[in-house]
Amino acid sequence: MICAILDEMAGRLLAPRMNPDIAQELHTWLARLHEAAAAGEMARYFPLNIAFHDRLVELAGSATLTEFYRQVIDRMHLLRRRNFDEEQGRIASEAEHRAIVAALATRDPEAAAAAMRGHVANGYARLGAAPPISPATTARKRASVGAASSARQASPVSSTGAPRARST
């Protein structure tokens, strides 16, 4: 549940920083995620989802949190990918993303933290209900996840085009 704690921390830090520009950016992310999900384009949705969560943590404004979050998440992509194989997982994830953005818009750190932690906890719960995946499927997904992770790590800019903050 380290991910839940990190997301919760990001929500607490980001909520008071919310402003119209950040809200608009997050709504744009939601629209991009919905478009990919509605088209059934999981090869596009999964990296967008990773980038959306990464951006939430970036927007929280803590280089240390961002660095630690990325270290943990880079080891968990395969598990996260599995949640989007089932339509119900995608639908639930989209609803939870909207709830996160709505909670952040209130600028209430506790509401934002609860929404983000709940999203991660629900994702873990969905994993428990997901059918087993075959070794061939696992290998294919590991390859696509590795490519997404490598691309994000290699990029000197964030998903918005801003320079990535790097801590030393």
Question: If you average pLDDT over residues 75-98, what whole number do you get?
Answer: 72
* pLDDT for the residue numbered 121: 85
Instruction: Find all residues with CB under 8 Å of 130, minimum gap 6, and list them.
Output: 82, 83, 85, 86, 89
Residue 156 is classified by DSSP as S
Q: Cβ distance 84 to 78 under 8 Å?
A: no
Residue with token string 């939601």: 30
Report yes or no: 158 and 61 within 8 Å, Cβ to Cβ: no
pLDDT score of 168 more than 60:
no
Kindly list the domain boundaries of the chain, sorted by start residue: 2-154
Q: Taking each helix axis from N to C terminus, what angle separates 42-59 and 63-73, rounded to the nearest 10 degrees? A: 150
**Using an 8 Å Cβ cutoff, are 165 and 66 in contact?**
yes
Query: Which residue in 27, 83, 26 sits closest to 57, CA to CA?
Result: 26
Q: 42: buried, middle or exposed (CB in 10 Å: 19+, 13-18, 0-12)?
A: middle
pLDDT in tens, 19-75: 999 999 999 999 999 999 899 888 898 899 989 999 999 999 999 999 999 988 877
Give pTM, 2 decimals. Answer: 0.69
Confidence check: pLDDT of 85 > 70 = no
Determine the CATH number of domain 2-154: 1.20.120.530
